[in-house]
Amino acid sequence: SGMVGVPGTAARLFGALAQAGINVILITQGSSEQSISFAVQPADARKAKRRVEKEFAFELEKGAIDGVRLEEDLAVVAIIGENMRYRPGIAGRLFQALGKNGINAVAIAQGSSELNISVVIARDDESKALNALHEAFFLSDTKELHLFLVGVGLIGSTLLRQIQQQADWLREKSGLEIKITGLANSKKMLFDPEGIAPDAWKARLEADGEPMSMARFVERMKALNLSNSIFVDNTASEKVASFYESILDASISISTPNKIATSSSYLQYQRLKQIAAKRGVPFMYETNVGAGLPVISTLTDLIQSGDRILKIEGVLSGSLSFIFNNFREGTRFSDIVREARKRGYTEPDPRIDLNGIDVRRKIIILARETGLPLEQKDVEIAYILPEAVRNAPSVEEFFKELKAADDHFERMRREAEEEGKVLRFAAVLENGQAAIRLLRVGPEHPFYNLSGSDNMIVFTTERYSERPLVVRGPGAGAEVTAAGVFAEIIRIGNFLA
Amino acid sequence: SGMVGVPGTAARLFGALAQAGINVILITQGSSEQSISFAVQPADARKAKRRVEKEFAFELEKGAIDGVRLEEDLAVVAIIGENMRYRPGIAGRLFQALGKNGINAVAIAQGSSELNISVVIARDDESKALNALHEAFFLSDTKELHLFLVGVGLIGSTLLRQIQQQADWLREKSGLEIKITGLANSKKMLFDPEGIAPDAWKARLEADGEPMSMARFVERMKALNLSNSIFVDNTASEKVASFYESILDASISISTPNKIATSSSYLQYQRLKQIAAKRGVPFMYETNVGAGLPVISTLTDLIQSGDRILKIEGVLSGSLSFIFNNFREGTRFSDIVREARKRGYTEPDPRIDLNGIDVRRKIIILARETGLPLEQKDVEIAYILPEAVRNAPSVEEFFKELKAADDHFERMRREAEEEGKVLRFAAVLENGQAAIRLLRVGPEHPFYNLSGSDNMIVFTTERYSERPLVVRGPGAGAEVTAAGVFAEIIRIGNFLA
């Protein structure tokens, strides 16, 4: 310290190296830097150190120079081109590509002729850096996204098909090259930095897959250390969700329809949000509510622009929507539940739908997005099933008890009808409270005309007070859920640009 | 060329400078660079050049060195800190901030001790760079957005109020600091890089504003050359829209409810899209269709994720929605139009609404987003008004003629009713064709239950084929339009992160 910038120091330094016949690859000394750095070939490194120490022996002894530090296992990457300085943002693109991928610059040099920007990085980061820079500069603005998909059931395999069908369009129109870099089902996992062809994944996973372990999947994903990595969880697994924290902390984005992480403890939800914000990586889960319908993004836009949410009402379950939309004069409640089950709208045991547990997870997520620290226990659920129905020991018994309760349901329906209303089983968030209720709604309410198995989300806000903002459509199913995840992956890709 | 990297060249260079007593601020020589760059104080510049030329006179003469080039009017900005290299992404954040603001790095130096990254830039960019870096590093992750607002009518002034009310929340929760840097109405314009307080803009514009000229507004905005600049056009002016191209080309983002640029010639629409893509800046206009309703973003998500749009149906006008929703048995068409006018839903001359011109602009924009190069003339409009009504010379005469046509409308209504249907005046995009038609829809159609003055957009796609995705709500009004623009500004802000 104190020597750098002093006329003659640089001259003596490079004079000494020259006398020793050592070629200097790169030099850099910042404007208020207390040191001067230069790079030489690994073979020359020790010799260079000794030679410089000899030259400055006196200054080293009296402490005018702190020491000569040798750093090893480094690599120099450089981008080279004519007139780069006249193309705005070249350095920006370079360092953005490195920075977004967590690659540190040990040293940087760019001369004013700017034919070249050189960056010294850790040798371990070399291939990741080359990859990121290759995309950033040479693939005619094509950007590679590296997907790590866990879960290849209905949603996962549909997503893979959609990606395959849309790959050319995305490459051409949006400059996105989507690579399936990692893939796993509950038994096997497979990695390929070159990408697993989305039309051949099944055979390859079967043939080349190694035994699946979620811990090792995450470890491998981190070790691959690839640019623009996105983890996609297409499971409903608690185990998988428990790894989100460490995934986000490694600067890897997440997109998922899995509701576990966002709807379990508020503390976990909050921690994941904070880590994602700290690392600057997206953690997205639009498909948690209403599948591909624009629900969470709409809510976020309202809140960010300062609207005040007065009420959110949601028919958030396709099966419950179907059941109550079709419960009309001349029908029997138990028949409709049976029909819903036959069509595959409900779980094999329809009570899993009718007890409102899944809807509760969804309204909790919406509540948390509005800033409320709600827990599951804070959501009051109206039990619409009489106790005997609820406690029936089997599905068969359940239907028998439900049939016996048909009069009970018919009475409720008729009471509503006499007021000109219909029954809707919906989640309601209002005054900081969330509840799941059997509502009676009249023709003035958007729920009144709901049909089929549509979801409907009704936002009543300060700005949408007289008439609400309503989103409606199928809120379940592999096609639209996978499409929602896919759209989210593309949004993340655009953000990582 | 050929001399750099040769042992001894650097030594002779810095030896010569040392002998002349010239302090070197910054040195940089890249790994395959054909030159070596160094920075000195302006006062030393010419002396340094002469001294180096003298030292290398022989090499210069025989062409082993190309020349000594002096660059002036430069500035060095540096970020300095302990252990910066162990905090991922510092260089990334630095160059991202510079790059996104179009600031070129003339030279860069960062030593391996990384206490310092120095960047040589044009002196003209100095304050912009300091501003951008200040935000990027020191405002505890707060990012400044610089808004340039043209138009302070109903929408513009509402937006200013919303910004004022939401400012604290955005600073705290989203790390966004919104500054009104430029502001104009049709008569006056005002600039303040420190920000115009959004609760005092009216008085300040009146007192301190200079005469407005759009050309000078754009010129000043570019000359201010501030980081994260966003141009917000709250007018419906063709003149203002004609400047978008040059604004985007200057790397300034645009958010606007003004439909002129997006719905006039396809060539213009396409050119603006291309320039925005080339410059990497957002050009956004969600509020062009349905005001604050999520219409264009939903369509974009569908298309990008590979869904195929089969049909878009839209009731895209609040006044036309109101008129046909309320045209029921026992009413007269002319009375309802009069009522709509009284409530301020229609223009003073309701024919401007009833002729479908504004709706045409909206369906053209949606069509173009799906990839169709439609022009206004390609959209077939059903003229619902009889000729005498259309050609009435005054508004008073118009209502007289409309009253005379009540039977005509009642006949149409009754014909629909006999089929169990209702009339809806809507835009339809299907099979590459756009049209505006008076539809008859039955109870199975989402339009059937439309009420009030709501807009409704129905997306029927390959994935939403059996049941469409529907967005519904108020699609006009200052509050929701301004809120839509505000949400868009925040999205742009997050992108510019």
Cα A294 from Cα B296, distance rounded (Å): 11
Strands lying side by side in the sheet with A188-191: A210-211, A188-191, A176-184, A143-150, A229-233, A253-255, A283-284
Alpha-carbon distance values, B267 to A148, A284, B371 (Å): 40, 36, 13
Range B259-277 average pLDDT: 95
Q: CATH no. for residue B107?
A: 3.30.2130.10
Share of chain A above pLDDT 90, in %: 67
- Tens-place pLDDT, residues A22-65: 877 777 876 555 677 888 888 999 999 999 999 999 988 988 88
Contact A103, A125 (CB under 8 A): yes
Ranking A259-263, B25-29, B49-53, B446-450 by mean pLDDT, the lowest is: B25-29
Share of chain B above pLDDT 90, in %: 67
| Residues B96, A91: C-beta atoms closer than 8 Å | no
Question: Which of B76, B105, B137 represents a domain boundary (last residue)?
Answer: B137
Same domain, A111 and A147: no
Amino acid residing at B390: R
What's the confidence (pLDDT) of residue B254?
A: 98
- Helices A318-325, A333-342: axis angle to 10 degrees equals 140
CA B407 to chain centre: 47
What's the confidence (pLDDT) of residue A81?
A: 63
- Tens-place pLDDT, residues A348-375: 999 999 999 999 999 999 999 999 999 9
Structural domain span for residue B120: 9-137
Considering CB atoms only, which of A35, A99, A472 is closest to B96?
A99
Range B45-72 average pLDDT: 89
Confidence band (pLDDT; 50, 70, 90) for B69?
A: confident
- Tens-place pLDDT, residues A165-187: 999 999 888 888 999 999 999 99
Same domain, A198 and A235: yes
| Per-residue pLDDT at A85 exceeds 50 | no
Strands A107-110 and A433-441: unpaired
Question: Which of A92, A118, A138 represents a domain boundary (last residue)?
Answer: A138
**Catalytic residue annotation of A:** 362
| Per-residue pLDDT at B3 exceeds 60 | no
* Number of compact structural domains in chain B: 3
Residue B74, helix vs strand vs coil: strand
| Residues A5, B24: C-beta atoms closer than 8 Å | yes
Same domain, B121 and B148: no
Same domain, A253 and A147: yes
Which residues in chain B are contacts of A486 at CB distance < 8 A?
305-306
Alpha carbon of B400: minimum distance to chain A alpha carbons (Å): 33
Contact A492, A253 (CB under 8 A): yes
Considering CB atoms only, which of B106, B117, B464 is closest to A85?
B106
What's the confidence (pLDDT) of residue A114?
A: 47
Range B313-331 average pLDDT: 96
What's the confidence (pLDDT) of residue A334?
A: 97
Confidence band (pLDDT; 50, 70, 90) for A5?
A: low
Residue B16 placed within a domain: yes
Same domain, B265 and B185: yes
Residue B168 placed within a domain: yes
Residue A463 is given by DSSP the state T
| Per-residue pLDDT at B116 exceeds 80 | no
Residue B3 placed within a domain: no
Range A416-432 average pLDDT: 97
Contact A264, A244 (CB under 8 A): no
What's the confidence (pLDDT) of residue A82?
A: 58
Work out the mean pLDDT of chain B and round it to a whole number.
89
**Interface probe with A: pick from B1, B26, B27, most Cβ of A within 10 Å:** B27
Helix residue spans in A427-477 (DSSP H): none
Same domain, A456 and A323: yes
Same domain, A380 and A350: yes
Cβ atoms within 10 Å, residue A136: 24
Q: Encoding tokens for residue B66?
A: 């190309």
| Residue A81, H or E segment | none
Same domain, A66 and A110: no
What's the confidence (pLDDT) of residue B497?
A: 56
Same domain, A77 and A66: no
Which residues in chain B are contacts of A39 at CB distance < 8 A?
31
| Residues A304, B115: C-beta atoms closer than 8 Å | no
What's the confidence (pLDDT) of residue B406?
A: 97
What's the confidence (pLDDT) of residue A83?
A: 54
Which residues in chain B are contacts of A457 at CB distance < 8 A?
none
Cα B148 from Cα B225, distance rounded (Å): 12
Residue B2 placed within a domain: no
Alpha carbon of A490: minimum distance to chain B alpha carbons (Å): 7
Residue B421 placed within a domain: yes
Ranking A23-37, A273-287, A332-346, B74-88 by mean pLDDT, the lowest is: B74-88
Same domain, A208 and A157: yes
Share of chain A above pLDDT 70, in %: 92
Question: Which of A89, A113, A138 represents a domain boundary (last residue)?
Answer: A138
| Per-residue pLDDT at A236 exceeds 70 | yes
Confidence band (pLDDT; 50, 70, 90) for A277?
A: confident
| Residue A425, H or E segment | strand A422-430
More confident residue, A81 or B48: B48
* B179 is annotated as an active-site residue: no
Catalytic residue among B187, B362, B377, B400: B362
Same domain, B455 and B344: yes
| Residues B280, A497: C-beta atoms closer than 8 Å | yes
Q: CATH no. for residue A465?
A: 3.30.360.10
Residue B365 placed within a domain: yes
Alpha-carbon distance values, B362 to A48, A98, A479, B461 (Å): 70, 41, 29, 19
Same domain, A453 and A390: yes
Alpha carbon of A401: minimum distance to chain B alpha carbons (Å): 33
- Tens-place pLDDT, residues A106-136: 777 776 554 567 788 888 888 888 887 877 7
Cα B482 from Cα B472, distance rounded (Å): 18
Which residues in chain B are contacts of A96 at CB distance < 8 A?
92, 95-96, 99
Which residues in chain A are contacts of B115 at CB distance < 8 A?
30, 33-35
Q: CATH no. for residue A179?
A: 3.40.50.720
The backbone torsions φ and ψ at residue A145, rounded to the nearest 5 degrees and listed phi first, read -105, 135
Range B195-212 average pLDDT: 95
What's the confidence (pLDDT) of residue A24?
A: 76
Work out the mean pLDDT of chain A and round it to a whole number.
89
Residue B1 placed within a domain: no
Contact B27, B109 (CB under 8 A): yes
